[in-house]
Structure 1
Amino acid sequence: MNAQTDPAPSHVATLVAASGTDVLSDALIGRIAQVLPHAAAPTRLDKKLAADIPFAPGSAGGAFPDPRVTAATARGALDGAPVDVIVQPLAHRRKRLFLADMDSTMIGQECIDELADFVGLKDRVAAITERAMRGEIAFEPALRERVALLAGLDITVVDSIVAERITLTPGGKTLIATLRANGAYTCLVSGGFTLFTSRIAAMLGFDENRANRLIVEGDRLKGEVEEPILGREAKLATLRELRQKFGVRAEETVAIGDGANDLAMLDEAGLGVAFRAKPAVAAAADARLDHADLTALLYAQGYRTSDFVTGS
């Protein structure tokens, strides 16, 4: 009688530790491997920060469990270590199309809140922003309400905000540079404003950007936004449009965001990633990044640190 052999790995769990830490030890990787079915030998993608564990989640003909459930099981074995776990099929792991939200994802701020600070209404506007991002109120009317509060604001403050207040999320430039160097198309798609996305997209190296347009009279904001508003459905439509334009399969797409208006886009993508996300978004996305920087999206695609292209 032949000895039973483990099925060939069809999935992979990618472990990515928070930048600057040294917690991803061989012992920790081994502990995670023990909770994965039919785990194969781990592979280091970075000496300290990232590793792959290939595995086979089910028997032949059996139903594969939800990758989110497997990832949650793996996270339970971390004992609180700041490590993210991304579980996905090995097939089509390398992506050809990347869509990203801007506010609180590719940058650390919410641009509309920073604009409101110049008219002394940041707390009021930020409260509305938070409710909209949690999905407690509809995005479109919430945006109109906030924009109305900005009427009369000089648009030159945008230059000051970008120069003095906006911080790029760590790993973003390297992420975009590496994806583009390997043939992927990148789009910054935001429920924010083109006054910001055009600048941020250029800083990060995106191929294109899409966002809402604020109506300007002279050099001041009118307090209105052009219709139709780019929100949840428009982000989804952008993903589908670009996928068709470039002949990209659904499995070859990856999207990242943090708010409720990103949910449809994340659900449609081959790999939808929640970044420091609101609870409902983190629960619904294929994967979640709570600790690692944006280069985790490269490790998730099987890139090693030696493959990274440093953004200029």
Structure 2
Amino acid sequence: MAPSRNSLVATLIANPSRPVLTDEIVASAAASLGHETERSVLARGIAADLIVSGSGEAKAVEARLRAALDGQPIDIVVQPLATRRKRLFLADMDSTMIGQECIDELADYVGLKKEVSEITERAMRGEIAFEPALRERVALLKNLPVNVVDEIVETRLTLTPGGRALVQTMRAHGAYACLVSGGFTLFTGPIGAKIGFDEHRSNRLILEGETLAGMVEEPILGREAKLATLIELRERFNLAHHETMAVGDGANDLAMLGEAGLGVAFRAKPAVAAAAHARIDHADLSALLYAQGYTAEEIVATPA
């Protein structure tokens, strides 16, 4: 049966380093949705589509699949089939496109990583407002030599697996990618370039000569600025709401994720994972390509 305009697609995605998505698991998941469910493999052992024809509720489909998968380390993204391919991608940086929080790494140089990390965690969970929390943490970095940033970028920051392939594959297919962070331009510049983003937006640390002044330029780029960036770029490129995608992990990403056609919580705080359109808990960032229907053969190969 050919998919209808109202069809949903449920994409099952495993981590490429643990390709547990067997044909048997896919068949069992499809059976849980009904005998008319179509199946197609996107990447053997890693990703497969289940197409659910007719009208349906995405959350209900997801719930049935989670029950069928019974705790397997497989992510599920359910969305309208007709609008899954995206042309604008916005991404958070810290703990999303990279595995660390840059401000915590800066604080480690002044022996305050524990104190700063605790504030970071509370802010990302939404327990305290992002802007005053950022000012408080930056103040603790006063007099830190700015040249430590280069060392941190080279020795302490790790790119999240799948991130380069995600950005470069989308760009190869005509999408625009923006790294939008509540962190700092000193980091988003080199990290954005390494991954291949079209542009980056973040906060600027104020310098006194070659050291940090302990202050950040106002206004601070936080939750509302991330949302505004999405809307601005969507309007600049004359895109429909459904042509946009955003990914993040913290409370200051919630507005951006909610406004995107597909908002993805990546290894996210509980409140963010619960609110986002989709959540990725097991796979790497290549999951966002499979969610758009890309096959393994279409993904741009990048250096490890």
The TM-score normalised by the length of structure 2 is: 0.96
2:29 to 14, 32, 36: 32
Question: Structure 1 residues 7 and 159, CA, compared in 2 at 3 Å: closer, same or farther?
Answer: closer
Q: Does residue 120 in structure 1 map to residue 120 in structure 2?
A: no
Amino acid at match of 2:190: R
Distance in 2, matches of 1:38 and 1:247, equals 40
Counterpart of 1:35 in 2: which secondary structure? Answer: helix
Question: Structure 1 residues 39 and 149, CA, compared in 2 at 3 Å: closer, same or farther?
Answer: farther
Q: Is the CA contact 1:84–1:292 (under 8 Å) kept in the aligned structure 2?
A: yes
Counterpart of 2:83 in 1: which secondary structure? Answer: coil
RMSD: 1.5
Distance in 1, matches of 2:95 and 2:297, equals 28
Matched with 1:274 is 265
Q: Does residue 108 in structure 1 map to residue 99 in structure 2?
A: yes
Q: Which runs of 5+ in 2 are unaligned?
A: none
Count of aligned positions: 302
1:7 CA displacement: 7.5
Distance in 2, matches of 1:287 and 1:39, equals 24
Q: Percent identity?
A: 65
Distance in 1, matches of 2:251 and 2:33, equals 31
**Aligned ranges 1:65-104 → 2 under 5 Å:** 65=57, 67-104=58-95
Counterpart of 2:247 in 1: which secondary structure? Answer: strand
Q: Is the CA contact 1:68–1:286 (under 8 Å) kept in the aligned structure 2?
A: no
Amino acid at match of 1:139: F
Distance in 1, matches of 2:14 and 2:36, equals 20
Counterpart of 1:77 in 2: which secondary structure? Answer: helix
Distance in 2, matches of 1:36 and 1:57, equals 12
The TM-score normalised by the length of structure 1 is: 0.94
Amino acid at match of 1:15: L
Distance in 1, matches of 2:229 and 2:36, equals 37
Q: Which runs of 5+ in 1 are unaligned?
A: 59-63
Counterpart of 1:91 in 2: which secondary structure? Answer: helix
Counterpart of 1:28 in 2: which secondary structure? Answer: helix
Question: Structure 1 residues 180 and 7, CA, compared in 2 at 3 Å: closer, same or farther?
Answer: closer
1:54 to 51, 56, 60: 51
Distance in 1, matches of 2:184 and 2:53, equals 44
Matched with 1:61 is none
Matched with 1:183 is 174
Counterpart of 2:69 in 1: which secondary structure? Answer: coil
